[in-house]
Amino acid sequence: MDITMIYALFIIAYAVLIFLGSTYLEESNLLRNKGKRKKVDQAKKWFSFFIFSFLYAVLIYASFYVHYLIVISLLLYATLLFFIAYSIRRHLK
């Protein structure tokens, strides 16, 4: 497997993880309105923990192959694409 394919898989997994998490957090905001605030806050903490641990694992893995700046720029690009897609999705609702 080529290193480019590995980075592409990491970026796709990162985008999917953020998309699923944002959908989950959006649904959890509906639960917050029904009075289940403590469960929602705990879910948000766990979600942010998993996001940052995933990013940290990607950076450690990538540091064995290329410079950190390339990986960070790819992750930032994936995040930017996600926020563009997320804003389009919210606009279409």
Tell me the whole-structure pTM to 2 decimals. Answer: 0.37
In the chain, how many domains are there? 1
Q: What's residue 12's pLDDT?
A: 73
Which segments in the chain show pLDDT lower than 50? Answer: none
Q: What is the pLDDT of residues 52-75, one digit of tens each?
A: 667 666 666 666 666 666 666 677
Full residue range of the structural domain in which residue 46 is found: 3-92
The residues, any chain, with a CB within 8 Å of residue 54's CB and separated by 6 or more, are 13, 14, 17
Q: What's residue 79's pLDDT?
A: 72
Q: What's residue 75's pLDDT?
A: 72
Q: How far apart are CA 26 and CA 47, in angstroms?
A: 12
